[in-house]
Structures are given as structure tokens and as C-alpha cells.
Amino acid sequence: MGTSAFISQFTSIRTIKSTVPANGDQNPYGVFVVRHSIGRLQKGDVLVSNFNDKANDQGTGSTIVQISPSGHRTLFAHINAATLPGRCPGGVGLTTALEVLPGGWVVVGSTPSKNGMAATAKAGCLIVLNRNGKVAETFSGHGINGPWDAAMASFGPVVDLFVDNVLNGTVKANGNVVDGGTVLRLTLLVSSRYAPRLVRTTVIGSGFAEQTNATAFVLGPTGLGLGRHDTLYVADTQNSTITAIRGALFRMHSAGTGTPVTSGGKLNMPLGMAIAPNGDILTVNGGDGRIVETTPAGKQIAARFLDRTPPAPIGAGALFGLAVAPNGSGIYYVDNDTNTLRLLH
């Protein structure tokens, strides 16, 4: 494959730290590298959200851990469903949707389950925490229904937060595929003193395939990444496809499932996504342990295993969230087989 690939410069994998906090939460999902120090958030540290609890029940994880590049882990937040300051139908089960807004406001998705089964999954919400890990507010309704991943762009006090949703008719379909997945653009007003205010919600993507799954909980649109030229890329997990929603920052109507960028090949149920410094699209597979690099023109130019756990398919189900390390020095990712944060460098 091509030598100009971003990931081709990296040859080593290092385990940074276990992502399991004192309460035993497992199954790390979301990964975000802190860009600015504020409050308890330290520049260069990595936030990781957990989807499962100590009993390994899916959709019941309630913690965000903060891990330094040297491997020092602290608990950034333990979110109690009983004391949330706003609605969050079903409670707390933290997903891959994890972003830090200007002012140090941390937004994390919740797609909760009562008993770890997708059949009891509820709409959930977006939970907003302050720079010290205290919950400030929740966003629910407005089309938020199983928030699964997120991306954002900020323009001074205005933030566009992109969120995909995987529960639109999914539970009721009882394992059958439904084309109800959506991508929302939430326009927020943000300041350092006051919690973000939601001023507008726009559906910019719709019709993505979704399905409850005994092993993966739910399959639907997962990774989001805002690339160059106002293009939002979406990992269509069910169809092993990456699509592009053009004009994502300003469009006022749905682009449907967007324009296909690439499909099949090394893609095998892509989940988490990040945009490389060169503009390429990085995704990790749910169907095996690979990371795949795709150009905006749709050419898959590199792939390698990040997890080789047997049996075949090698590394299946091990990968989820990822993020580019500061200065493009590597790629942080979570490994669900070992509940660890790792660095490809």
C-alpha cells in the first residue's frame, strides 16, 4: 500500500494504562485528547468513557477516566443517574460520543440499558460536565435517540456538535435491520461561565442501517469525523462503508446517508473514526482488529492490525474509539479485550 499513509510511519504499540476505575467499569468506548488545560483537564491527557459496568453489562457504564501520556489514571467523573439535573431517558450508559468544548465543557453520550441487553435500551441523552467533572446539564429529545458518537467544530462562542443516533426504531425491530439512523447537528452557544445552551437542532443525515445485536449491543452509524471542505464523514458500520455528508456545517436538510467514499476492502464493520493531520480518514474495525486509512477520494491506502486476539476473525470486537495524539505523534485507541488505552506510535 502507499508510503504516504499517515499510519505507515508508526511501528510500535504501547499499552498506556488500564481504563478500569475503582468501581470496575469496563468496555472503554470514547477517546478524546485534551487540547487545553483548564480545571482538572490537563493538556495532552486522554479522556476515556466506559460503556459497561463491573458486571460487564452493556449500556450501564457511568465513568470517564483521565489518563496521562505517562500512564497516570484518575477518575474524571462518576455520573449518577439518580442525580442528573435534567432528563436522560433510561439513565446512564456512556458511549463513544465524547468531546470537550471551549471553556472545558465535556459532552458525553448516554445510550443506557436496564440490564445490559439492547431490548431494554432507551433514548438516553447527552450529558454535559464542567471542567472539574461535575454534571451541569443534559440534552434530551430534539432527535437525540441513542447518541453513539460525536464530532464538533467551534467558531468563537458557537459550537456545532455532530451526533449520530442508533435507536430510531431499532429496539422495536427486535433484531431486524431498520434504516432509521440519523446524524444531527446541534448548534450550541458556549461560554466559560455558563453551561452550553442548545439553540438549534438540524437533521443532516438519515436512513442509516441499524440493528440490535447480542454481542455488539447495537449496530448503526458510528464514527464521525469532520474533514476538510466542510465534509462530515460517517462510518456506516452495518454496510462496511464510509460516507460523506457535504456542506455539514451549513446544510439545512438531510443528505440521506451521504455520498459513499469507500466500501468493503479492508473495511470490516468500521466503528470509531478520526481524521489524520493529512486529511485522511482513520477507522477501526469491529469485525477484526485492524485500523484502516482512507483518502478523501476513497482509496484505502493502508491497514494494519492493532489487536490480534484469536480466534478468527482476529481481533474482532476489540476496537472502538480512537484519537490522533498531539502533533500527529501517534494514535491513541482503546482495546476492549484488555480494557486498556494503547498508543500506536
At 98-140, the pLDDT tens digits run 999 999 999 999 999 999 999 999 999 999 999 999 999 999 9
Asked whether the CA dihedral 260, 261, 266, 267 is positive or negative, the reply is negative
One-letter amino acid of 144:
I
251, 239 Cβ separation under 8 angstroms? no
Q: Which residues contact 249 (CB under 8 A, 6 or more apart)?
A: 153, 160, 185, 230
Grid cell for residue 158: 458557537
Strand pairing report for 217-219 and 281-285: unpaired
**Domain encompassing residue 133:** 23-276
Mean pLDDT, to the nearest integer, of 203-231?
95
- Measure the CA–CA gap between 101 and 56, rounded to whole angstroms: 30
Residue 266 has pLDDT above 60, yes or no: yes
Residue 335 has pLDDT above 50, yes or no: yes
Residue 287 in any domain: the answer is no
Residue 184 in any domain: the answer is yes
234, 204 Cβ separation under 8 angstroms? no
Nearest to 293 by CA among 325, 338, 320, 261: 261
Residue 311 in any domain: the answer is no
- Measure the CA–CA gap between 146 and 95, rounded to whole angstroms: 9
Residue 3 has pLDDT above 80, yes or no: no
270, 237 Cβ separation under 8 angstroms? yes
At residue 305, the pLDDT reads: 98
Beta strand residue intervals within 232-345, DSSP E: 232-236, 241-245, 259-263, 270-275, 281-285, 290-294, 300-305, 319-324, 331-335, 340-344
Residue 1 has pLDDT above 60, yes or no: no
Residue 213 has pLDDT above 90, yes or no: no
Chain mean position to CA 319: 11
Residue 60 in any domain: the answer is yes
Residue 152 in any domain: the answer is yes
Q: What percent of the chain has pLDDT over 90?
A: 97
Query: How long a stretch of residues is the chain?
Result: 345
Is residue 216 very low, low, confident or very high in pLDDT (cuts 50, 70, 90)? confident
Residue 182 in any domain: the answer is yes
| CATH classification of the domain holding 193 | 2.120.10.30
Residue 189 has pLDDT above 80, yes or no: yes
Grid cell for residue 91: 439513565
Mean pLDDT, to the nearest integer, of 10-37?
98
Mean pLDDT, to the nearest integer, of 294-298?
98
- Measure the CA–CA gap between 108 and 62, rounded to whole angstroms: 10
- Measure the CA–CA gap between 198 and 29, rounded to whole angstroms: 25
Residue 4 in any domain: the answer is no
The alpha carbons of the chain give a radius of gyration, in whole angstroms, of 18
Q: How many domains does the chain have?
A: 1
Residue 64 has pLDDT above 60, yes or no: yes
Residue 218 in any domain: the answer is yes
